[in-house]
Chain A
């Protein structure tokens, strides 16, 4: 045999790539499981208050209204608490129209059972919440859920 042939023998074989699909699937599954679906990006600070007498919320019949101070990304909107609906800030006077609109987009048999989920920052004034509630009464959406973190019972 020639000299060149001998050199070849010492080289490592190529690394097997058979496990690559597994790794990719693993990552895929992980992100599938861990991702929380969120329909609107929050433009406000939203640390919820805590309560221990909580009930579960049925997502399919819920319209969310957010409230709180604009967060650091949206400083140009000032520091007063604002109302966010879907992806935009709205004024108190627009709550009624927005809620009626959102309810009409729901499944028909759920429309009468609609619950308004209020996700309001705990440092907001309660006055804002009572303004929203007045508008909801005008819109005849009377079931309200104050969304809260679960406090561990002591």
Chain B
């Protein structure tokens, strides 16, 4: 036979391939969302009111020096032990709060030289100007983790029945709040506030010394 012209390639499936790729990238690409630790700063207070005296046992001091070493309650500590130490302090429940109620939900040892009640327990942290930001964040993270751990525990105790499949009840509650942010759910908000009030976050930061 004589030479024949090559048949034209069918381009009809090209669109399919393009869509396939498009959908693949749509599914796999995640638009980056910033995440971080949310904290509130104290407002500037110019009034000359003498601050109330806080008992030493209700204060959990964390100091970070310029070499990124930790001094917790006057003892040097490794960062990996900080979370548990903070949990033990907050959860101690040695005595009563200002209203005279004892901490019925605390599971701590009730030591006399540790915090009276989660309402009274204050974590105070201070760092040096030369401390690295990374270490500072690690410490913040551990302290927030201690609060979150205890809040999770209480949320699981109180509201597990509403979230039987959730691994972390408090996280599930916050996620639900986030989802329904345009239709306020009073009951849910009240529950979240309740859990927060059981372990109020009292994390104070002192200004580093000027030198």
Contacts and interface: CB of A to CB of B under 8 A. Distances in A.
A140 interface: yes
A36 interface: yes
Contact of A53 (B130, B144, B178): B144
A123 B134 contact: yes
Interface stretch (B14-22, B89-97, B112-120): B14-22
Most buried by B among A25, A26, A115, A149: A26
A146 B34 contact: no
B37 interface: yes
Contact of B208 (A53, A62, A126, A145): A126
Classify chain A's interface size. 35 or more
Given A13-B8, A33-B26, A54 B136 contact: no
A57 B34 contact: yes
A1 interface: no
Interface in A2-38: 9-13, 15-16, 18-19, 22-23, 25-26, 29-30, 33-34, 36
A134 B41 CA distance: 9
Contacts of B21: 26, 30
Interface in A127-151: 127-130, 133-134, 136-138, 140, 142-150
B141 interface: yes
B53 to A, nearest CB: 24
Given A53-B141, A145-B39, A146-B39, A25 B18 contact: yes
B2 interface: yes
B3 to A, nearest CB: 5
Interface of B is mostly: mixed
A83 to B, nearest CB: 13
Interface in B57-94: 64
A133 B140 CA distance: 15
Given A117-B36, A137-B43, A138-B44, A146 B18 contact: no
B102 interface: no
Interface string B180-210: 0000000000000000000000000101100
Interface in B110-139: 127-138
A142 B40 contact: yes
Given A22-B14, A36-B31, A56-B178, A122 B39 contact: no
Contacts of B141: 51-53, 148
A117 B34 CA distance: 9
B49 interface: no
Contacts of B25: 29-30, 33-34
Smallest CB-CB A-B distances: 9 pairs: A127-B129, A19-B14, A122-B134, A147-B36, A49-B137, A54-B35, A51-B141, A22-B18, A18-B11
